[in-house]
Amino acid sequence: MIRVRAARRTTLALAVAALAAAALAPAGATVRATAAAVPPPPADVLAASSGATTAPDAAADKRVAAGVKAALSGKAVGSDTTAFVLDVGSGTPVYAAAQTRPQIPASTLKVLTAATALVALGPQTRLTTTVVPGAAKGEIVLVGAGDSTLTRSAAARTWPAGQAARPASLAALAAATAAALKKAGTTKVVVHVDDSLFTGPRTAPGWPPTFTTGGVVAPVTALSVDQGRAGPGVGSGARVKDPSLEAGRLLAERLRALGITVSGTVVRVTAPTGATPLASVSSPTVADLVERMLTQSDDDLAESLAHLAGGKLGGAASFAGGATATLKVLGDLGVTTTGAVVVDGSGLSGQNKVSAATLVGLLARLATTDDPVLSAAVTGLAVAGATGTLSDRFTGPGTRAGRGIVLAKTGTLTGVNALAGLVLDPAGRLRAFAFLEDGSPGPQAVARTALDRAAAVVAAG
């Protein structure tokens, strides 16, 4: 039996409720992060309770089960759909359909990556990109730390509502580097890069070549600027072939503009061990990164976090290491991994296989743990009809009951749709759910709406 602890649930409730309120409030309105700011229940999924387990309601469970089954029975969904709804407080399964059968999870895999990164790296850790003196005279080395949010912008914008962290700026790093060089009397340098923190292939098994050439995701390296995009901003889809070398070239350009003479060609080197940095910039905290990764379903960020976790717990900062770390963390948290296959951190690969039982088991664990390390894996979930990948969903007939109530991670690949998350129903019962469609004949928009209707049924209770 899983028992929900009141104090823990209160802390997460206020964070999530404030996020939903900010997203749903009229333009210019002021939102306070207090219980009074959001009339229950919008997004108050983890609201305070007495700490006692809510007694099961057989009639409500039967109603929810029938509604979920009906929502998932449409032709667009297909026959290879698995589903699991759990009453978290009592540990009672509410609806189960092949819930232990591994399916392609698409981006719902990011929930696993989130928990793994938080455990492996710690929520307050920051990723520090540095410039250090090289082994040769006049050589400086840009050293990557796996911060995929590093941007070329001189005045990096903050992230969307509820995620006000500001990413590190290459422009700021260049300015600090130029100042340090001038102070040391050096105005002529060669720029090289060190991206040796990550090892192994730069693309995961199961990724079509078009993913990197078409801009879906960049080749995974420990050093990149604007996630390897050819231009600034998330709207620029084209990716460069080698993000690390491009980062070095961008630094060289900035240094030239600041009066430093840069010669030679940017190449990979290994920075001297223990070199004192000339300059450095740091990312937002890992908790901030995890929240952004979940809310926006950021594939590049997911891969960098998974690689970093692999370096801590999986034997190597690689795709394989990240997979090992993920399965280890799930096991340590007491979550079933039977049949699970993990090959990347983003869920882009069709070779990933995760069951609805694994997703629900992890979500239930995250929602009931006393460990503050894991908070961002819940507060980063998108709010239905309000934030991130759910901002334009839960708006049509049969889905509005979930608006502002459902917290979930989406998942979409060709023929694959998934939704996994948490709700607090009108009776105060915390429910965890996961719906995975594999081989959906579509149309995809119709199949996706079916999942929204199923989640709305759970929210309505």
Catalytic residue among 107, 304, 318, 440: 107
Cis peptide before 40 (omega within 30 of 0): no
CB 167 within 8 A of CB 150: yes
Cβ neighbours of 107 (radius 10 Å): 25
Nearest CA among 436, 396, 432, 389 for reference residue 416? 436
Active site residue 280: no
DSSP for residue 408: E
Residues 247 and 256: their CA atoms lie apart, in Å, by 14
Amino acid at 400: R
CA dihedral in degrees (359, 364, 369, 372; nearest 10)? 50
Contacts of 102 (CB under 8 A, 6+ apart): 339, 340, 341, 353, 354, 355
Active site residue 297: yes
Active site residue 283: no
User: Do the bridges between strand 261-263 and strand 188-194 make them parallel or antiparallel, or are there none, so unpaired?
Assistant: parallel
Catalytic residue among 283, 297, 304, 440: 297
Contacts of 214 (CB under 8 A, 6+ apart): 237
DSSP for residue 389: G
Nearest CA among 161, 155, 165 for reference residue 27? 161
Token representation of residue 213: 């050439």
Residues 413 and 264: their CA atoms lie apart, in Å, by 43
Catalytic residue among 90, 110, 355, 440: 110
Element (H, E) at 281: strand 279-285
Nearest CA among 344, 290, 286, 337 for reference residue 320? 344
Residues 70 and 422: their CA atoms lie apart, in Å, by 20
Give the active site residues.
107, 110, 297
